[in-house]
Structure 1
Amino acid sequence: MALLKIKFTFQSRVRLAQGLWLLSWLAVIAATLTFSMGVFLKAELHKRSEVMDNTEIHAVPNTLIVVGLASLGINFFAGRICQDALDTTRFPRWKSFLQPYFILSLFFTLLMLVAVIMSYAMKGNLEESLKIGLKNGIRFYKDTDIPGRCFQKETIDRLQMDFRCCGNNNYKDWFEVQWISNRFLDFTSKEVKDRIKSNVDGRYLIDGVPFSCCNPESPRPCIQHQLTNNSAHYNYEYQTEELNLFNRGCREALVSYYMGIMNSIGAGVLSVFILQMSVLVSVRYLQTATEALVGQENTEIETEGYLLEKEVKETIKEKMDTILKFLPINQVDSEVKVQGTLVVSAALVVSLALNSFLS
């Protein structure tokens, strides 16, 4: 018995074809937006790549870019199919094309849903990437004369000013690293010598932060050196001077920023996913309702459209049996056959995914 069978009159088939044509072009626009969102997110992540430790988080924009491009082609062909749907002389030419079309459409539509889930689930990877990346960025802040790190100081300074943040977790992270280069230290000074000798690693550590940590909203000139020494400054209590420096760590600021973008993109792509599924379902109904007209003299008769020719279980079993015919496992019991089929199916999905990313 067919799944979700619906009867279509001639007028309803015409309305379905016309509605699908409009829907497919709306989906083309939505696919363009999906591609644009992927490019935008990738560009935003690339801006801060110097303070990120890995590229795993680029899986979200990469997926959106691939899905957006694939959806453009899918919906373009959907528009062409609906144009020929009411012409029984032109529609049969699509017959051999429709099965691979539905397979690819379903795969990329589900991949779109995966991108939505990933956009909400990347917070852990993003935090870990920023935790290590910012730690290294602060550590290499002083290396302005070393190739490959000479722009690290500018990157960190601009980051702290743009996002109104300081350090990795907070401003105290700067107390644990030597962020002033030896080129700018007077080694004849007793204070410098004492500080270096007092540290086991021979580093020049101070309770100070770069200028970019200073909060311009502070009513007093910024205090960035001897932050924990109340007697070094007039009318100063470092534990209560909340406005002197940015209190929020840059990791928290960046995670909040990127998750805001990803959550917004996730909501947008979810809407595109619903639209794409509507196109896919409409094309399937239009196909099955129109195929019933092939060979009929009267093309205005009532026909039936459906999603699947048989029930879900029967369809899955039929497809699995078809796959098993090509596998040399006839002497294996049925349970192993099912497992083998699942493995092959998973391999096919992975292969398609890899091909899509490599292309």
Structure 2
Amino acid sequence: MVVMKMKFPFQKRVKLAQGLWLLSWGATVAGALTFSLGCILKTELLRRAEVMDNSDIHVVPNTLIIVGLASLGINYFASKICQDALDAGRFPRWRNFLKPYFAVSSFFTMLMLLAVIMSYAMTGSLESSLKVGLRNGIRFYKDTDTPGRCFQKQIVDRLQMNFQCCGNNDFRDWFEVQWISNRYLDFNSKEVKDRIKSNVDGRYLVDGVPFSCCNPSSPRPCIQYHLTNNSAHYNYDYQTEELNIYLRGCREALVNFYMGLMNTIGAGVFSVFLLQGSVLVSLRFLQTSMEAVAGKENTEIETEGYLLEKGVKETIMETIDPLMKFFLFNNKVEEDASTSTAAAPETS
């Protein structure tokens, strides 16, 4: 059964070709936009790669970059097809090319939709990546003399100031690590000795945070140390007073930032997906309506165009069948080869 059959007089075919030409160039610009959005997201992820544990989240920007580049080529050829569609003598040269073109275009269009879905579904992967990455960043904060970690302190400090956050989950994460380097500790001091001896691992732990956790909008001078000791500061109550450091954890801040960016990009790419789908559907109507004109002297006759020559199920099966036969043939060849190899020693 033919799907979405429509009548196309000559003037309607001309308008379809002209409109599709404009639409294809609009989709080309949208493809460039998709590529740019992928590059922007990729850049933002690479900027904070030191506080991320894995590269799985890069699959979204990588897909957008690939799809954006593919969209440029796909829609450029669509515009060329539209130009030749107005000339019935030149259109037939595209006939053998159109089937693989639709297959490639459909693949990359679906890949675009997959990128949109992934951009909304990456919360869990992003959060787990940041959880481990920020934990390691805080852990290596003091290693300014260690090769490969020299800039870890600068990265974490800038991160906390730019995103107005502190620690991984919250500021208490700094209480669990030694974030002050041994080169800045006076080991002759009784306080330092007592703190190191009181810890099982021999680490210098304090209930304090780096300066980058301080909130500049607080009216009170920043309290970095003895945050949980009410008697250490005048007119200070740890339980009731809002601390003058950032209370939000950096993982939450970064997840909100990246998911907001991905969701915005996802909405934009979904619009591009709809535009790309419109190009493919319109081009299919143009192709099928021009098939009846090819080889005829009178090109101004009324023709019929359709989306699918057969039903959806039949079309899918017709597309999958050659692939299944190809893989079955390859498997049979491999089995015959292995059988002949196993039988060779017996014949000798």
The TM-score, its normalising length taken from structure 2, stands at: 0.93
- Amino acid corresponding to residue 132 of structure 2 in structure 1: I
The alpha carbon displacement at 1:241 in A equals 3.1
Q: Provide the residue aligned with 1:9 in structure 2.
A: 9
Aligned to 1:109: 109
Please give the secondary structure, in 1, of the residue aligned with 2:304. strand
- Residues 229 and 325 of structure 1: is their aligned pair in 2 closer, same or farther, counting only changes over 3 Å? closer
1:98 aligns with 2:98: yes
Distance in 1, matches of 2:34 and 2:327, equals 39
Structure 2: gaps spanning 5 or more residues: 333-348
* Number of residue pairs aligned between Structure 1 and Structure 2: 330
RMSD: 1.3
CA drift of 1:96 comes to 1.1
Provide the C-alpha distance between the structure 2 equivalents of 1:89 and 1:240, rounded to a whole number of angstroms: 83
The amino acid across from 1:179 in the alignment is: W
2:292, 2:78 → 1: CA distance?
19
**Residues 217 and 243 in structure 1, CA contact (< 8 A), matched pair in contact too:** no
Q: Kindly, what percent of the aligned residue pairs are identical?
A: 74
The residue aligned with 2:257 is: 257
1:122 maps to what in 2?
122
1:34 equivalenced with 2:48 (yes/no): no
Q: How does 1:262-281 map to 2 (within 5 A)?
A: 262-281=262-281
- Of 177-186 and 319-328, more deviation after overlay is shown by 319-328
Alignment of 1:279-298 (within 5 A): 279-298=279-298
How far the C-alpha of 1:47 sits from its partner, in A, is: 0.7
1:312 CA displacement:
1.7
Q: In the alignment, what sits opposite 2:313?
A: 313
Paired residue for 2:335? none
One-letter amino acid matched to 1:3: V
Show the counterpart of 1:183: 183
The amino acid of 1:228's aligned partner reads: T
Give the 3 Å change call, closer, same or farther, for CA 141–285 of structure 1 in structure 2: same
Partners in 2 of 1:111 and 1:321 — Cα distance? 22
CA-to-aligned-CA distance 1:31-81 (integer Å, 9 cap, x gap): 010000000000000111000000000000000000000000000000000
**Map of 1:169-180 to 2, 5 A cutoff?**
169-180=169-180
2:290, 2:171 → 1: CA distance? Answer: 68
Task: From the superposition, tell whether residues 61 and 212 of structure 1 become closer, same or farther in structure 2 (CA, over 3 Å).
Answer: same
CA distance in 1, matches of 2:95, 2:108: 21
Distance 1:27 1:183 in 2: 59
Instruction: State the partner residue of 1:205.
Output: 205
Supply the AA of the counterpart residue of 1:208: G
Code of the residue aligned with 1:242 in structure 2: it is E
Structure-1 residue corresponding to 2:131: 131
Shift of 1:328: 4.8
Cα displacement string for residues 100-129 of structure 1 (whole angstroms, at most 9, x for unaligned residues):
100000000000000000000000000000
Is the 1:86–1:290 Cα contact (8 Å) retained in structure 2?
no
Change (3 A) 1:253 1:323: closer
What TM-score results when the alignment is normalised by the length of structure 1? 0.90
The answer to whether the 8 A contact 1:186-1:192 is kept is: yes
TM-aligned CA distance change 1:236 to 1:70, over 3 Å: same
